[in-house]
Amino acid sequence: MYRTRAVVTVMAASLAVSLAACSSPDAITTGSRPSTPASTWTPSSQTDPAKLAVALDSLPNWTPPSNDGDGVSSRAILDNGGRVTWTVLNGENTVLPEYTGDGPVAFGDGSVYTEVPGVLTFRGNNFRNAPAYGTADITQKKLQVVWTQATGDVYAENSHWAGAGWTGQPLLVNWPKATKQAMGLTTEQVNDPNFVEVIYPVVDGKVYRLDLATGAQTKKPIDVGFAFKGTGSIDPRGYPLLYSGMGLNQNGDKTGAWRYRIFDLIQNKEVSGWNGTDAGAPRDWGAFDSSALVNAATDTLIEPAENGLVYKVKLNAKFDATAKTVSVNPEFHKLNYNTPDSTRHGIESSAAAWRNLMYAGDNDGNIVCWDATTLQVVWVRPTGDDTDATIVLEDGADGPFIYTGNEMDKRGEAGATSGPITIQKLNALTGEQVWSYSIDAVYNKAVNGGLMATPLLGTGDVSDLVFFNIAKTGSDATGTLVALDKKTGTVVWQRSLSAFSWSSPLLLTGTDGHTYGVIGDSRGLLHLFNPNTGEDYSTLQLSQNIEASPSAYGNMLVVGTYAKLLYGIKVS
């Protein structure tokens, strides 16, 4: 749900100083570790939607939906007693009672979301489990600022919005050579196979394009004048297309139309998109915080919106590298669903996808699973409160599972000053709960407590763990970082954070075979930590709140802060 987010200001410390290892550690408690790191699971390399798609009537406990007339379908909500209803609309908002899609839309394993090296959408792929690309040569276990890029701010909705905010993750792209040539990058950049471009839509309404190694601008920023708060997406086919929606439609005394934007990165300008003020939407708030997924095999983009619709867009994208042209001609279908708890509507989280099944949490506290082909709602599970953190998906020999958690929001508006937030592991096919974990969080109308950061799946030597960064536990200022056993939900270690955080943590894979955790907090402190124990190896004081989520390519991190600065940081 839209909320005012106050800027957290902190006295800036020297940017080049990496603090001593484990300096001023927060309290860490240790529990049992019942499972060992998982054996290697070999993901499928399949990308053909016709072979990937799962028939809905083959799902466990499947029941067909009811036909309620006038194009309305419904089914029972899990463990609730109520029913979810939905309609499918076309681009003119005509209800389509018999919509079956134009062929299967299904995603492969997250590892084959894109063949382009990098982090091309929020958390890297359709499983939302890859915020870092490649390996990092880490010996000193230190963080060092390599470059900075100044950004701006906006004043909107009676608040000040600066730098980069939630979720605000940068995109890191090692473009194909032909795409670099088409975009008119320098000869050196075109011929350098290690050149990585940072594509970063941020709060000042600009899209920054930078060289990851140096921070130098590769192109002039694209300026649309209105804030981006979520994370953009690059077309996974290597097409020079950026997809990103508005987060605010006000900038000082200027107000504009809500818009989801598609950018041609050859011409370096917006070339298409659609209006977020949609007559078919259940809510009059047209923001787009979700980071789109693009199904390359079917040329289809999926984008949940805060207006309460889920957009399925046939892009009709064409890229001619020789002619140096790229184009889109969007065609729309839309899912509009409603539950007895739907008083707010809207999705701020980014959708995850397992084959043709897609998942997101909404502002009313529902976890919703729908079919990407037909836009039929497959199951709905209530969580008890607003769910903004993006779901993370895991696939393995035991089948697909999702990890999610909610926040203190709706219950706070109803009068509670604090209460338990619930972390859950769910069966992705049925919505059934595998385990849950609860911790109390404080209600704050401007800056919610609970799970705002996206869960982090362990890999390598911590592949038995899943990590949750929970805001405002114990007090309005503090937080908790907890590592749970993925199979049982048992607490393996739990660390109290002296400064809460909304920023999503990530793991770096070291060339030494170990993993290294990174997390930023609301005091601007960036932590490099041991994910086996929760202890810091070192920290780096940046200026002001790190609310945006970082991403990484090799040894380089990119992170934005409220100080109106983007940072390129080397992990050594």
Domains recognised in the chain with CATH numbers:
18-39+59-571 (2.130.10.10)
Does pLDDT of 2 surpass 80? no
CB 462 within 8 A of CB 421: no
Assign 3-class secondary structure to 252-311. Answer: CCEECCCEEEEEECCCCEEEEEEECCCCCCCCCCCCCCCCCEEECCCCEEEEECCCCEEE
Q: Residue 15 above 90 pLDDT?
A: no
Q: Return d(Cα 230, Cα 228) in angstroms, integer.
A: 6
Residue 32 identity:
S
Residue 538, both tokens:
């070192």
pLDDT digits 0-9 by tens, 399-414: 999 999 999 999 999 9
472 in Cβ contact with 409 (< 8 Å): no
Q: What is the pLDDT of residues 52-77, one digit of tens each?
A: 999 999 999 999 999 999 999 999 99
pLDDT on residue 39:
75
Instruction: Give the Cα separation of 325 and 472 in Å (integer).
Output: 48
Distance CA 228, CA 248 (A): 7
Handedness of CA 113, 118, 119, 124 (dihedral sign): positive
Among 450, 525, 454, 447, residue whose Cα is nearest residue 480: 450
d(CA 399, CA 388): 25
Mean pLDDT along residues 423-443: 98
- Give pLDDT, residue 461: 97
For 21-30, 111-120, 253-262, which range has the lowest pLDDT when averaged over its residues?
Answer: 21-30
Taking residues 173-177, report their average pLDDT: 98
pLDDT at 25: 59
Going by their DSSP bridges, the two strands 506-510 and 491-497 should be labelled as: unpaired
Contact criterion met (CB below 8 Å) for 344 and 122: no
CB 455 within 8 A of CB 403: yes
- For residue 256, the one-letter residue type is G
Residues 6+ apart with CB under 8 A from 429: 59, 60, 357, 399, 400
User: For a pLDDT cut of 90, what percent of the chain falls above it?
Assistant: 94
| Interstrand relation of 197-201 and 233-234 (parallel, antiparallel or unpaired) | unpaired
d(CA 361, CA 345): 11
Supply the pLDDT for residue 40.
77
| Both structure tokens of 67 | 């036909």
Given CA atoms 421, 457, 44, 234 in this order, what sign does their dihedral have? positive
Instruction: For residue 59, report the phi and psi dihedrals to the nearest 5 degrees.
Output: -70, 145
Q: Please give the Cα distance from 545 to 548 (Å, whole number).
A: 9
Q: Is pLDDT above 80 for 6?
A: no
Residue 22 pLDDT exceeds 80: no
Q: In what order do the strands lie in the sheet with 536-541?
A: 18-19, 536-541, 525-529, 515-520, 506-510, 135-136
Q: What is the Cα–Cα distance from 124 to 299, expressed in whole angstroms?
A: 18
Q: Please say if the pLDDT value at position 322 is more than 80.
A: yes
For residue 393, pLDDT over 50 is answered with yes
Predicted confidence (pLDDT) per residue in 179-188, tens digit: 999 999 999 9
pLDDT at 14 over 70: no
pLDDT at 19: 32
Q: What is the pLDDT of residue 379?
A: 98
pLDDT, tens digit, 9 for 90 and up, residues 142-161? 999 999 999 999 999 999 99
Residues 6+ apart with CB under 8 A from 398: none
Read off the tokens for 122.
């929020």
**Cβ–Cβ < 8 Å for 36, 464:** yes
Cα-Cα-Cα-Cα dihedral of 381, 401, 290, 217, to 10°?
A: 170
Q: What is the mean pLDDT of residues 209-233?
A: 98
- From first CA to last CA, the distance across the chain in angstroms is 39
Confidence category of residue 1, pLDDT binned at 50, 70, 90: very low
pLDDT at 38: 84
Would you say residue 24 has pLDDT above 50?
A: no
- Cα dist from 18 to 11, 13, 193, 538, whole Å: 16, 10, 31, 7
Residue 193 — φ and ψ, nearest 5°? -70, -15
Rounded-to-integer distance, Cα 467 and Cα 483, Å: 5
| Mean confidence (pLDDT) of the chain | 95
Q: What are phi and psi of 324, to 5 degrees?
A: 60, 50
Contacts of 355 by beta carbon, 8 Å cutoff, 6+ apart: 52, 53, 54, 106, 107, 108
Q: What is the three-class DSSP state of 224?
A: coil
